[in-house]
Amino acid sequence: MGVRLSRFAKEHIGQVAELERKFFSEPWSEGSLAILLTEDYPSFVLVTASGEVIGYLSAQRALDELQIINLAVREGYRGQGFGASLLCAAEDFCRTEGIISISLEVRESNLPAIGLYKKQGYRESGLRKNFYRQPTENAVVMIKNLT
């Protein structure tokens, strides 16, 4: 199966919005996702040869830090290294742009995601109480230093 990694583009908005609705309790709308097309929001997608978006990572740049907003991979493609590929794309972007750290929040109950982040070198740095809604849940703050 051919899968390519690319920057998030206008033609991906509909499929990424579908993933948002499926995996997040407060999904971004198509209009909000259009904001990710600006340079301050480096975002990446994985697309199959048939054009299906199988995963994406969205982030926001703040000076020398990148904040991951969302990362999602379709259920049938999980556990195959696609999430790691998206994280590597973000790290490659950071290295070329002089960004020295990446941070994110993840639901405390999302053990597969926490495991992925730890495997990729992220460390837990704190807890945000009641950060998520629908349902209310704490967020684990994770950071990776690239220096």
26 an active-site residue? no
Selection from 122, 140, 118 nearest residue 131 by Cα? 140
SS3 140: strand
**List 20, 30, 108, 117, catalytic entry:** 117
Show the tokens assigned to 105: 């929040």
**Alpha carbon distance 139, 24 (integer Å):** 14
122 an active-site residue? no
**Alpha carbon distance 66, 100 (integer Å):** 8
**Alpha carbon distance 122, 117 (integer Å):** 5
**List 20, 56, 105, 122, catalytic entry:** 105
Catalytic sites, residue numbers: 105, 117
